[in-house]
Amino acid sequence: MSIPLVTLLGRMTLAFLEAIGSVSSFALQAVRCALTPPWYRQQIVRQMLEIGYYSLPVVGLTAIFTGMVLALQSYTGFARFSAESAIPNVVVVSLTRELGPVLAALMVAGRVGAAMAAEIGTMRVTEQIDALTTLSTNPYKYLVVPRLIAGIVTLPILVLIADIIGVLGGFLVGVYKLDFNDVAYLRNTMDFLQFQDVYSGLVKAAVFGFLISLMGCYHGYTSKGGAQGVGTATTNAVVSASALILTFNYFITEAFFAR
């Protein structure tokens, strides 16, 4: 039994388009619900803690080692043409524009996206989502909207903290390993840093936060078929969120800097 290549290609294209349509209508419905009361403040605060506060250790760890390795690697490269003085600048610009948002978002996607899909997916298969509806509570408003809001708000804060910790990592390696003068290192860091570098990173973070929550909620909400379904939902949430983060990263960068 062989399926012709064209049939397979067509089938995959259709499935892909169907997924895009279904995610879009889910997102649209969620955004519509976000704009009208009631808002469940307690849930928003809880999700902010879950997404933001409890992700601090893992994001901090990622940031400090990224900053450290950036300083070390760019030293190896830049020493070849005596451009060591550019290292602080390279570290801070790479972090704020690119590595801070992307790496933090990928870590959060793995940590939070999976948990979100598992929690909502379990609620789906144990009929807890139906129970919400019968208690006159819109599950979009109660489950999805707080997670989306928390994602959009907390990711930029996380990334800002990651930027600072990352620069600190670069500073430590620069001063204690590569024999930079500490004042000069910091001055170099600040002098060439532009507002747009940080700002574009934070915009990215907000978009990534939305995507992580959206994927976690969507895959959890649409999961079916017991434990296996929830497992699939969890995997799909992390994989799709990561892929979307990397894709959107390029397009946001282009929108900001292509001119």
Partner 1 sequence: MSPKISLRGVTKSFGPKKVLQGIDLDVAKGESMVVIGGSGSGKSVLLKCILGLMRPDSGSIKIDGEETVALADGGRADVMRKFGMLFQGGALFDSLRVWENVAFGPIQSDGMAPAKAREVAIAKLGAVGLGPEIGELYPSELSGGMQKRVALARAIAREPEIIFFDEPTTGLDPIMADVINDLIVKCVSDLGATAISITHDMASARKIGHRIAMLYEGKLIWQGRTADIDHSGDAHVDQFIHGRAEGPIRMQVRKL
Q: Report the alpha-carbon distance of residue 165 to residue 161 in Å, rounded.
A: 6
Question: H helices within 126-259, ranges in order?
Answer: 128-134, 139, 145-176, 182-191, 195-221, 226-257
x/- map, 35-74, partner 1, by CB under 8 A: -----x----------------------------------
x/- map, 138-177, partner 1, by CB under 8 A: x---x-----------------------------------
Instruction: Give the count of residues interacting with partner 1 (CB under 8 A).
Output: 14
The nearest distance, CB 125 to partner 1, in angstroms, is 9
**Exactly one of 81, 136, 250, 258 binds partner 1 (CB under 8 A); which one?**
136
Taking the alpha carbons of 238, 157, 252, 22 in that order, is the dihedral positive or negative? positive
| Closer by beta carbon to partner 1, 127 or else 182 | 127
**Does 126 sit near partner 1 (CB under 8 A)?**
yes
The nearest distance, CB 128 to partner 1, in angstroms, is 5
| Closer by beta carbon to partner 1, 33 or else 172 | 33
**Exactly one of 18, 130, 182, 254 binds partner 1 (CB under 8 A); which one?**
130
Taking the alpha carbons of 74, 77, 79, 83 in that order, is the dihedral positive or negative? negative
Written as six digits, the tokens of 89 are: 């600048």
Q: Report the alpha-carbon distance of residue 105 to residue 245 in Å, rounded.
A: 7
**Residue in 247, 212, 207, 203 with CA at minimum distance from that of residue 97:** 203
Distances (CA, A) of 150 to 16, 132, 225: 28, 21, 28
Q: Where do contacts with partner 1 occur on this chain (CB under 8 A)?
A: 40, 123, 126-128, 130-131, 133-138, 142
